[in-house]
Amino acid sequence: MTSANAGSDPGAAAQAAPVSDTDLVTLLAGWLPQQRWYAAKQDPDAVVGITDRNLVAVAGEHDLHVTVEQVLIEVSGSHGRSQYQLWLAWQPEGTGAEEHAGAIGTAGGLSATDALLLPAVSRLLITTVADAAALGPVHAVREPDADIDITAHGMVIGAEQSNTSIVYGHSAILKMFRRLEPGPNPDAEVHRALAAAGCRHIAEPLGELIGPVGDEEAGRETTLGLLTRFYPNSAEGWAMALSSVRDLMAEGDLRADEVGGDFAAEAHRLGEAVAAVHADLAGAFGGRSADTDELRRILDDMAIEARSAAEQAPSLTQYLPGILAVFEQAAAHAASLQLQRVHGDLHLGQTLRTLTGWLVIDFEGEPAKPLAFRRSMQSPLKDIAGMLRSFDYAAHQPLVGGRPDAQHVFRAAEWAARNSTAFCDGYAAAAGTDPRQAGGLLRAFELDKAVYEVVYEHGHRPSWESIPLQAVSRLINAGGSL
Amino acid sequence: MTSSPAATASGSPLPEPDASSFAHARPIAGQAEWYKRAVFYEVLVRAFADSNGDGTGDLRGLIDKLDYLQWLGVDCLWLPPFYDSPLRDGGYDIADFRKVLPEFGTVEDFVALLDAAHARGIRVITDLVMNHTSDAHQWFQESRRDPQGPYGDYYVWRDDDTGYPDARVIFVDTEPSNWTFDPVRKQYYWHRFFSHQPDLNFENPAVGEAMIDTLRFWLDLGIDGFRLDAVPYLFEEEGTNGENLPKTHEFLKRCRKVIDDEYPHAVLLAEANQWPADVVEYYGDPAVGGDECHMCFHFPLMPRIFMAARRESRFPISEILAQTPAIPESAQWGIFLRNHDELTLEMVSDEDRDYMWAEYAKDPRMKANIGIRRRLAPLLEGDRNQIELFTAMLLSLPGSPVLYYGDEIGMGDNIWLGDRDGVRTPMQWTPDRNAGFSRCDPARLYLPAIMDPQYGFQTINVEAQMNSTASLLHWTRRMLEIRSRYAAFAIGEFTDLGGSNPTVLSYVRHFDGVGGLDGEGPHTVLCVNNLSRFPQPVELDLREHEGAIPVELTGGVQFPRIGELPYLLTLPGHGFYWFDISGEPEQQ
């Protein structure tokens, strides 16, 4: 199945195909379930198939001591079919590779390693982008004015759900998408469009790695990796919000607006930043009004989801009539709904405080949804609701697992309300329209999100279930929302 | 108003003392650009030590305490004005540039101070107000009396009060206009500050010469430099706001040339309370390494340090440092936590360039803490951990630190004295009468010594802290000693590391080996500061220093080797670390 190759001598590279597909599948069987981005961890019946193998560099080229192979696999199981991208480094067994981080195993006298962890490979990738060059069928696009430092050392950071990120010194970050869907990647697409619009609230895109993915004859051109500027002296909004909450909880008698760690001014600026991003998204991709029928359909979908959620999470049952009433009320009162491209998965963890202001990051959309949905027109209220839910989570997170006293519960609600208000104020100031004036729609989106969260927490983190559940209770009581 | 015994007939200048009439202090062994490495110590002559028992500190008293200052490890004393003055503006209203305020002593006493300080390796600078004089200065008395005489054009006189309408009134509370009518000369005179402080007319070449001669007078005696007060206002011009005009910069270049040509050991430090991006103009032309002032105060940094600790966020500090432009080769910032009076939150900020300003100015506690004048220890509620954290940042951020007298022992203030005098109380030397500051009857003291139970001299004094190595005084001394051993703290390149935790401020100071003392090689120090009151972890990207073994500077303990993974440190609440991460120590 080996389709492509690298270097000046295709024949030689093809010959170097390290191990057979069968051996490779066996090798990966033990390794894949340990990867954070691998969705079929819990599925013993998942079937791994190799869909494409490309030798992109052989040992001796590009100052490499390993042979690098890009492998696309398809995993079928209870969750459906997913495609993944792997980069493997091969070298003779016994050279010590088995001891290193990212070691996968050995087959046919060769050791395999997760190539993205190797400095030589991360250097190869950034050089390829900087030169707008190609590695076999993988080719690179460099943004016209991109300033790329190819001497910066690459290092894989953290474990992400859908990708592996390599940080280059203090200058750039390459996000290699692990789960692939053939076709345009919303993250790359949105970054490019917003950069062209001069948006100051996104990470500057520097370039892309692109390659064919999919069943079609030549595959569909798909973003494999996105290189953006790295902001070294920055902090996640989530971490900053938590430190503010912690500061508040440590005070017995001070209100949220009195303690030093007050976050409201940051929340206000964050609201301004999100409004600016929405405006630029609408400018770049257009927007339209949903008519009454479409609006009705959106709210009906929320109701369907809520009914199904109540079956999965029994704690929701008692609230179901109230939930449905909120959706019904919104449908009755809201005249129209503006639709446009949105972030789709906005929360505090998707925001970055830099020295000059707030950035919104990760425009991939909801990871679990299909590509077409992630690129579709949706309501910006969805993003705003996501932020409001995130403030609520930040406020209550420190209470999880403990035995919260009334004082702390009160403070948490106060913090969430203060920062949600500041966020909406900032959004309204920048956008010119107040999302709270959308006739109950914001509350419907918030509730929809909270219902989803109850189901998620019920399945994954039962001790957290009370956070969204209390939000549901609050939101269905009239006046309980913004 | 002083009488004018030396007033002369129209046409002949006033006799003024010449430096050759006095002994000169012995110079200090030369070290080029010493101000870049120095720790400054602001000491009020009035407040430090009283040698003659009149209740007011004096120069002889200060001489008696030089051994203490040498032991502490400071490199340069900054003395606010000690010139003869009616003291209507804390001595910044100078009545005679060449005479010492009698209660402080004489010019001879000052030379003795210089000589004794130099013998201990300590330099001395003082304030010089060039923009204006007291209305009691003989130049002004002559100018109003005799418009045609040699001083007739020394000040800015007009027949009406309509000139320079674009120049703002700085002291809006007390001054209705920048023009005041003089009943003697029957004309209006120009003043940017108080009406009893007429502005000198720098358009008159004789004024510039007279000021430069004033510089020469003190430099000949052996002084090591000047803090130039209110420099942005020297010249005025119709259609401008009268600040930072090109002619003002030209005059500063003239002053610098005199220094470079005749007194190369001396330093000029500008007081220009503006944003760093504007202040750098006062360093002069970077192409020639700077040709105006050697140093400028970095005003916005100080309130940012307080904000950062209050917000438990590094961003207030990181932002202002990121906005701080590079400075010329010969230049250095002056940084401080507190001094004798600073306008802080009220300072600057006309534009929304700094959005954070609006945020913090709204915070009532920040206003109360920063806007009024208080000492470091009471501002930090006497919290030793915070005092140490703040001092550690002062000693390791870019610039030469300026300590304020008494802060090394954690002295308090007396808010009942009003915001000017509250931080100018007698230095607390001992638990004895008058805090050991003076032998006089306590009622004669210029200000009462602090006597409250927390900060009173019975509790907080040099003698007690000298006897305890755990004291703040000993701690401060140790930190100064460590700082002096690493050129990186003073002249190393500053890199903000960021890091995973927004409440932790981490930075590296790297000294490349150029411009150090003999035998000082390249080295790198890492400073990590926890701005939160809670313990914090932080992961730092130290890959550039992979393989180095960090050595903690206060105890010499080796920490785990820096690897390719993020370097994890944990800090106690308000804790800090200083590490030498220059390299791998010799293997045993």
Residue A134, min C-alpha distance to chain B (Å): 29
pLDDT, position B368 = 47
β-pair type (B295-297, B332-336): parallel
Q: Higher-confidence residue: B419 or A242?
A: A242
Is B310 in contact with A260 (Cβ distance < 8 A)?
yes
Specify whether the CB–CB gap between A121 and A87 falls below 8 A.
yes
Q: Which of B304, B315, B571 to mutate to test the interface with A (most CBs of A within 10 A)?
A: B315
Alpha helical stretches, state H, B263-383? 276-279, 301-311, 315-322, 355-362, 364-366, 376-379
ipTM of the complex: 0.71
Burial class, A33, CB count within 10 angstroms (exposed 0-12 / middle 13-18 / buried 19+): middle
Region B510-514: mean pLDDT is 93
Specify whether the CB–CB gap between B78 and B64 falls below 8 A.
no
Q: Spell out which residues of chain A touch residue B356, defining contact as CB-CB under 8 Å.
A: 265
- Contacting A with CB below 8 Å, chain B residues are 309-313, 315, 318-319, 322, 355-356, 359, 363, 365, 496-498, 500-503, 532-534, 541, 543, 564, 566
Q: Higher-confidence residue: B157 or B5?
A: B157
Q: What phi, psi does A236 have (nearest 5°)?
A: -70, 140
pLDDT, position A478 = 61
Six-digit token pair at B55?
């209740």
Is B318 in contact with A355 (Cβ distance < 8 A)?
yes
Q: Spell out which residues of chain A touch residue B532, defining contact as CB-CB under 8 Å.
A: 243, 247
Residue B437 has pLDDT above 90, yes or no: yes
Is A260 in contact with B355 (Cβ distance < 8 A)?
no
Q: How many helices (H) and strands (E) does chain A have?
A: 13, 19
Question: Residues in chain A with pLDDT < 70?
Answer: 1-17, 158-160, 215-218, 252, 478-482
> Is the C-alpha dihedral spanning B34, B39, B40, B46 positive or negative?
negative
Specify whether the CB–CB gap between B340 and B44 falls below 8 A.
yes
Type of residue found at A49: G
Is B543 in contact with A243 (Cβ distance < 8 A)?
no
Is residue B153 part of the annotated active site? The answer reads no
Residue B51, min C-alpha distance to chain A (Å): 45
Q: Spell out which residues of chain B touch residue A272, defining contact as CB-CB under 8 Å.
A: none
- Angstrom distance (rounded) from CA B395 to CA B404: 13
Among candidates A250, A261, A356 on the partner chain, residue whose Cβ is nearest the Cβ of B311: A261
Nearest residue of chain A to residue B354 (CA atoms): A356
Region B49-74: mean pLDDT is 98
pLDDT, position A121 = 93
Among candidates B312, B363, B365 on the partner chain, residue whose Cβ is nearest the Cβ of A243: B312
pLDDT, position B415 = 76
Among candidates B309, B501, B566 on the partner chain, residue whose Cβ is nearest the Cβ of A239: B501
Residue B178's pLDDT band, with cuts at 50, 70 and 90, is very high
- Angstrom distance (rounded) from CA B487 to CA B555: 19
User: In terms of Cα–Cα distance, which of A125, A119, A88, A86 is closest to A103?
Assistant: A88
Residue B563, min C-alpha distance to chain A (Å): 12
Give the rounded distance of the alpha carbon of B154 from its chain centre: 29
Specify whether the CB–CB gap between B566 and B539 falls below 8 A.
yes
User: In terms of Cα–Cα distance, which of A120, A117, A91 is closest to A106?
Assistant: A91
Beta bridge partners of A177: A163
DSSP one-letter code for A479:
T
- Angstrom distance (rounded) from CA B72 to CA B74: 6
* Catalytic residue, candidates B199, B229, B236, B292: B229
Is residue B229 part of the annotated active site? The answer reads yes
Among candidates A153, A170, A243 on the partner chain, residue whose Cβ is nearest the Cβ of B502: A243
Q: Spell out which residues of chain A touch residue B322, defining contact as CB-CB under 8 Å.
A: 233, 355-356
* Catalytic residue, candidates B58, B75, B135, B271: B271
Q: Spell out which residues of chain A touch residue B313, defining contact as CB-CB under 8 Å.
A: 240, 243, 261
Specify whether the CB–CB gap between A135 and A174 falls below 8 A.
no
Give the gyration radius of chain A's Cα atoms.
24
Residue B555 has pLDDT above 90, yes or no: yes
Q: What phi, psi does A288 have (nearest 5°)?
A: -155, 165
Residue B512's pLDDT band, with cuts at 50, 70 and 90, is very high
Residue B359 has pLDDT above 50, yes or no: no
Among candidates B312, B355, B501 on the partner chain, residue whose Cβ is nearest the Cβ of A261: B312
Residue A240, min C-alpha distance to chain B (Å): 6
Checking A411-414 for CB contacts under 8 A at 24+ apart, the result is: A411/A248, A411/A249, A411/A256, A412/A245, A412/A249, A414/A255, A414/A256
Residue B370's pLDDT band, with cuts at 50, 70 and 90, is very low
Q: Spell out which residues of chain A touch residue B365, defining contact as CB-CB under 8 Å.
A: 258, 260
Is B311 in contact with A240 (Cβ distance < 8 A)?
no
| CA neighbours closer than 13 Å in the CB half-sphere of residue A27 | 25
Alpha helical stretches, state H, A313-438? 320-333, 371-374, 380-396, 406-431
Give the rounded distance of the alpha carbon of B476 from its chain centre: 18
Region B245-263: mean pLDDT is 95
Is A258 in contact with B543 (Cβ distance < 8 A)?
no
Residue B88 has pLDDT above 70, yes or no: yes
Is B311 in contact with A262 (Cβ distance < 8 A)?
yes
Is B500 in contact with A239 (Cβ distance < 8 A)?
yes
Q: Spell out which residues of chain B touch residue A232, defining contact as CB-CB under 8 Å.
A: 497-498, 541
- Angstrom distance (rounded) from CA A62 to CA A120: 9
- Angstrom distance (rounded) from CA A428 to CA B36: 49
Residue B108's pLDDT band, with cuts at 50, 70 and 90, is very high
Is B498 in contact with A261 (Cβ distance < 8 A)?
no
Q: Spell out which residues of chain A touch residue B309, defining contact as CB-CB under 8 Å.
A: 260
Residue B578, min C-alpha distance to chain A (Å): 20
Q: How many helices (H) and strands (E) does chain B have?
A: 18, 20
- Contacting B with CB below 8 Å, chain A residues are 153, 155, 157, 167, 169-170, 232-235, 239-240, 243-244, 246-247, 250, 258, 260-262, 265, 269, 353, 355-356
A-B C-beta contacts closer than 8 Å: 60
Q: Spell out which residues of chain B touch residue A157, defining contact as CB-CB under 8 Å.
A: 566
pLDDT, position A312 = 95
Give the gyration radius of chain B's Cα atoms.
25
- Angstrom distance (rounded) from CA B477 to CA B490: 17
DSSP one-letter code for B330:
T
Residue B419's pLDDT band, with cuts at 50, 70 and 90, is low
pLDDT, position B473 = 98
Is A353 in contact with B322 (Cβ distance < 8 A)?
no
Burial class, B324, CB count within 10 angstroms (exposed 0-12 / middle 13-18 / buried 19+): buried
User: In terms of Cα–Cα distance, which of A270, A254, A260 is closest to A361?
Assistant: A270
Among candidates B319, B502, B534 on the partner chain, residue whose Cβ is nearest the Cβ of A240: B502
